[in-house]
Every structure is written in C-alpha cells, then in structure tokens.
Amino acid sequence: MVQEDDVIERTSILAYTVLQELHAVLADPAKPDEVSLGIVMGLAMFLDDKVGPMRADRLMAQAPEIILKTDAHVTPALVRQFDTVIRAFGDHLRDFRVTVSPPPVNGVV
C-alpha cells in the first residue's frame, strides 16, 4: 500500500493514469506517437514553467534512468487505490471553464 507521505509515488501513479486516459481518448491508431509526443511536449512546457528550463532539462534527461533503476510500473491494483482521486479530478475537469479575456483595444486592457 502507498504511504500518505509518498508524494512522488502518488503523483506518478496519478499522472500515469491520467495520461493513459488522455492517450486513449486522443490517439489515432494509425499515428499514436503524435499524442505521445504531444504529452512529452506538454510536460516539458509544464516543467519549464514550474521549475525553469535548466531543472526541466535535467529532470527530463534523468527520467528514463530513474524509471529503469526503480523498475517503476503501475499495476491495475495501484490504479484502483486511487479511483476516488481520479474521479474527483475528472469531476474537476468536467466543471473546468476557461475564461478568455478580450484582446486589448488600441493597447488598452
């Protein structure tokens, strides 16, 4: 069982599960790598925004080694442990609304 203070492991399992669902919804069976590339690009942009380009570069470069060293994989049993969190996140996304500001008029906001 996952301990309550295992933030990295819990976050990894949740991210994996969300990405599995995203890939299943978006991927064209003839070109599934395009969605995978979009996920990697989105992650790179997210990390660049959150930790800066230098740390993002190191994290992205080290990720394959970290996974290989720890033999990381997400089992169906692990996913089931997080069902309620995934459902809550899905509910959040369902209610998510993007607010778009009108473009400035003559440079005035």
pTM of the model: 0.72
Distance (Å, whole) CA 42 – CA 45: 5
Q: Which of 88, 85, 108 is nearest to 96 (CA)?
A: 88
Distance (Å, whole) CA 35 – CA 24: 9
**Structure-block tokens of residue 66:** 């970290």
Structural contact between residues 2 and 80, judged by C-beta atoms closer than 8 angstroms: no
Q: List the pLDDT tens digit at each of the 109 positions of the chain.
A: 445 568 888 888 899 999 998 999 999 989 989 999 999 999 999 999 999 999 999 988 988 787 767 667 788 898 898 889 889 988 998 898 888 777 777 766 5
